[in-house]
Amino acid sequence: MSETRAEKKTLARAQIRALLTHADGWIATGFGSGLVPRAPGTAGSLVALVPWWFALRYLPVAWYVVVLLLAFALGVWACGVAGRRLGVDDHRALVWDEFVGQWLALCVAPAGWPWLVAGFVLFRLFDVWKPWPIRLADARVHGGLGVMLDDVLAAIYALIVMQVAAALLR
């Protein structure tokens, strides 16, 4: 995996075709949202809000957690296979981790669009900033699990901040 930073950012048409001709590629790229040329992580997080808004937020917490666990496992598999196909463990086009992270950050969010915006912003902030131990996990854990783990940790930070803010604003 000795690709340069520029090579890691840009996918050739053949690589895009290789991703989108397999289910794992569709899932790993967040149904293609990770293929946008600028800020694919942000695009993936924005697209993840659609199923959250229309379905996930209405689930009882227990079912929500089941969906998160299944989506995480699916992501470990899909991002692992797609990453091997690309020859890059954590290519920026692989954004299923943003979906799961965004959903986790909003897991028990209070109702209302301000909380949706706060969850989105906080998750993106922690995902980009990568405070300890996120940066450590990002550097040391590879493959599909590595792709997924750092975003789950960022989501936990966002979830905690959201819950503290909600408690303080009651």
Omega before 133 within 30 of 0, i.e. cis: yes
Torsion, Cα 138 9 24 82, to 10 degrees, reads -70
pLDDT higher than 60, residue 159? yes
Q: Residue 7 — pLDDT band, cuts 50, 70, 90?
A: very low
Indicate the average pLDDT of the chain. 93
Cα 112 to Cα 131: distance, rounded to the nearest angstrom:
28
Q: Quote the pTM value.
A: 0.93
pLDDT of residue 8: 58
Cα 149 to Cα 143: distance, rounded to the nearest angstrom:
10
What's 91's DSSP letter?
-
